[in-house]
Structure 1
Amino acid sequence: MRNRSMNMNLEQLDTPAAIVDTGKMQRNIDAMQARMNALGVSFRPHVKTTKCVDVVRAQIAAGAQGITVSTLKEAEEFFAAGITDILYAVGMAPAKLPRAMALKQQGCDLKIIADNAAAASAIVDFCRAANDTFDVWLEVDTDGHRSGLAPEDDALLAIGRILHEGGIEVGGVMTHAGSSYELNDSEALAALAEQERAGCVRAAERLRAAGIACRTVSVGSTPTALAAKHLEGVTEVRAGVYVFFDLVMANVGVCDSSDIALSVLTSVIGHQPDKGWVIVDAGWMAMSRDRGTSKQTRDYGYGLACALDGTPLEGCELAGANQEHGILAVTHADDLARRFPIGMKLRILPNHACATGAQYPEYHALMSDGSTEAWRRFHGW
């Protein structure tokens, strides 16, 4: 798959196709790494957004220390590519423990997480039977968004003791302030970043005071990583979508649409002049069904339409999507056939980069000279 599109430009590529603007991507990587360096913490990017070795190598080259994954498939793929320091940041299902142990025994420095007594007990029992161990982190809930243990919850210490007394090292605590995606105010984002930091640090302090080792304090989301004023007590930050950004992040206020590195290349295939529609070949199979901007300050439909050079088109929105048909609603619908001729190529910026990227087996990396290179993207669990 690699290099199949070398030297092809955007006009020559078949559509729909996922395009990564490598210049924008590198600027995003460098800016986040510089911020983490200034805050004095390690950075462990979440690679679920890209699932692409080429992208992650650029993040590591910039200074990232380890990666975060959301599937064991990701862990296996990146370990095979030579990356060993991996946090699997999804609660461990007991049936997956043999697969995780196989990675560890091959030399992967794999960290797994738990947030309940049943999972912790299953890990202890499995490790005793395997005569081996895991580095287990406890997930902390600092904003009520999803999973985890409240910093002051008695269960935090009880689960820590199950692991500790079972011979399992509690290597750290981690949290994810996912509710940051619902904000759009810099002061509110900074306040949530502090809430995230303080809650996770407090959880670590309680564990240490109970005699349970907890060397790592890991926090992060793209908005809170960019909004944090300080990170006292934190050892590392995780963030993922920052590498590409997307329209949800633009609405949150942590990037501009000009920072978005991922787009979908599409072709005009028809017109409905009486409705003010241009039909393109990027439907929801190309863009995903994610409508993450629908509850935000600006609803972009299924994506923001841009010219081939990436310049947003005024008065154009991907307002509807069927499986393979995208409906581009045009405010000024005069002479659509002339303005949007059949075969014309456009680029659509996505609502959610993770969801849109997941529709494709590869990215077409757009280089500074206008050529493209195919970068493999893997998927599955």
Structure 2
Amino acid sequence: MPPKLPDTPFALVDLARVDRNATRLRDRLDGLGVPLRLHVKTVKSVELVRRTHGRAPITVSTLAEAEYFAAAGYDDIVYAVGIDPHKLPRVAALRARGIALTVLLDSRAQAEAVAAAGIPALIEIDADGSRAGLRPADPLLPEIGAVLGDRLAGVLTHAGGSYHAFTPEARAAAAQGERDAVVGAAEVLRAAGMDCPVVSLGSTPTAHTVRDLTGVTEVRAGVYLFFDLVMAGLGICTLDDLALSVVVTVIGHRPDRGRILTDGGWMALSRDRGTAEQPVDQGYGLVTDLAGTPLPDLLVTGASQEHGILALRPGSGHPLPELPVGTRLRVLPNHACATAAQYAFYHVLADGALSRVERHTGW
């Protein structure tokens, strides 16, 4: 870490770890013979996406992302959130510029609006009951396909339940269930006489676990570029793989309460408590020194708007470390997407030097 640092808090990205994480998944999917459609919702940075993914097809979670990446030359985009018909004019405007933008839906009302607008759509499939979509056996599936007609692009699913798969067996079952659901849905549509060219699945846990992608045309994942404490808690990565952290500064002490105060509150870290239901609860984040070495059992246990409260993990046998006012620390986040969303840019660490990289925001 260079001696000259920006004012805290700031979002720090370790570029060597980003590169390593990108290579790991790319090599894995190459071995399985299926391309990656990177989900940019985590990094939301043209520079980082271009470095790790080139100009290959991408997934977005907002139309603002689609517009931002389209302006940078990305012309094959899936908007992987159920389409609001009021947003179709924005979709049409992008398509009029030559952007192959495909939307997502799971209802007849959406399908009718999308078909009338002449926009291609994927039907969302529910692989595990965790969120939206249709089960493969739902009679509405071929009905919606018929409404879309030649605007039917295929099917898409996301195994959200994989975020609660804490054993290798559970992760394998989630990955297999995701694949079986989306391939089964494609077979239903084809049996009804419809083309189903795209069979898309993905989440970071299943992408790193799945062994059989027969019948799948693409995999989507995004948080893997940064990873986070939730992914580490699932066993998908180690703490050494986490590429995003928040640099904070010690601003006070409450020895009577066993607390250390920093300038990194929830406005810097987010309120995400994604590890609360995991076997190891990491509070609002795990604290490391500036070099990235975890300080034994030291967590962000509380957060107000601009104050982070550091304390030892309950039951810890370690002493509270002596961290004078002015000490710089790093906090590893629970959920990289939520933490990154607090910032308009990253400070990227590469070869001992820091540079600023733009990050897109908004909807």
Q: Tell me if the contact between 2:115 and 2:151 (Cα under 8 Å) persists in the aligned partners.
A: no
Q: How much does 1:333 deviate?
A: 8.1
| Alignment correspondent of 2:291 | 309
Deviation per CA, 1:308-352, whole angstroms, max 9, x where unpaired?
01111102111111110001104578685xx21111100000000
Q: Is the contact between residue 46 and residue 67 of structure 1 (CA under 8 Å) also seen in structure 2?
A: yes
1:281-300: per-residue Cα shift (whole Å, max 9, x none)? 00111000000111111111
Q: Which amino acid aligns with 2:126?
A: D
Aligned length: 360
Contact 1:276 1:333 in 2 (8 A): no
Distance 1:15 1:40 in 2: 43
Counterpart check, 1:32 vs 2:25: yes
Q: Aligned residue for 1:134?
A: 119
Equivalences for residues 196-235 of structure 1 within 5 A:
196-235=178-217
Per-residue CA deviations over 1:237-286 (Å, capped at 9, x if unaligned) read 00111010000011111001110000000000001111111111001110
Of residues 271, 275, 298, the one that matches 1:293 is 275
1:138 alignment partner AA? I
Residue 124 of structure 1 and its aligned partner are, at CA, apart by 2.0
Asked whether 1:343 is paired with 2:326, we answer: yes
Please, which of 1, 8, 16 is the counterpart of residue 15 of structure 1?
Answer: 8
Structure-2 change in CA distance of 1:10 and 1:211 (3 Å): farther
Q: Partners of 1:265 and 1:250 in 2: how far apart?
A: 20
**Alignment match of 2:148 (pick from 163, 188, 207):** 163
Q: AA paired with 2:72? A: A
Q: 1: CA distance between counterparts of 2:318 and 2:219?
A: 47
Structure 1 gap segments, 5+ residues each: 1-7, 128-132
User: Which letter maps to 1:340?
Assistant: L
Letter in 2 for 1:210: A
Root-mean-square deviation (CA), in Å?
1.4
Instruction: State the Cα distance separating 1:141 from its structure 2 match.
Output: 0.5
Alignment of 1:349-364 (within 5 A): 349-364=332-347
Aligned to 2:167: 185
| 1:27-69, Cα deviation, whole Å (9 max, x unpaired) | 00010110110011010011101111111102223xx731000
Deviation at 1:11, TM superposition (A): 4.5
Task: Report SS of the residue matched to 2:214.
Answer: coil
Tell me the TM-score normalized by structure 1: 0.92
Query: Residue 266 of structure 1 contacts residue 347 of structure 1 at CA under 8 Å; is this kept in 2?
Result: yes
Contact 1:140 1:200 in 2 (8 A): yes
**Kept after mapping to 2: 8 A contact 1:273/1:333:** no
Write the distance in 2 (CA, Å) between the matches of 1:358 and 1:346: 20
Identity of aligned pairs, percent?
Answer: 51
TM-score by length of 2: 0.96
Shift of residue 210, structure 1, vs aligned partner: 1.1
Distance 1:355 1:51 in 2: 12
Quote the Cα distance in structure 1 between the aligned partners of 2:320 and 2:198: 60
The 8 Å contact of residues 296 and 318 in structure 2, kept in 1 or not, is answered as no
The yes-or-no answer on 1:116 pairing with 2:101 is: no
Q: In structure 2, do the counterparts of structure 1 residues 335 and 328 end up closer, same or farther at CA, with 3 Å as the change threshold? A: closer
2:26 counterpart of 1:43: no
Q: Which residue of 2 aligns with 1:148?
A: 133
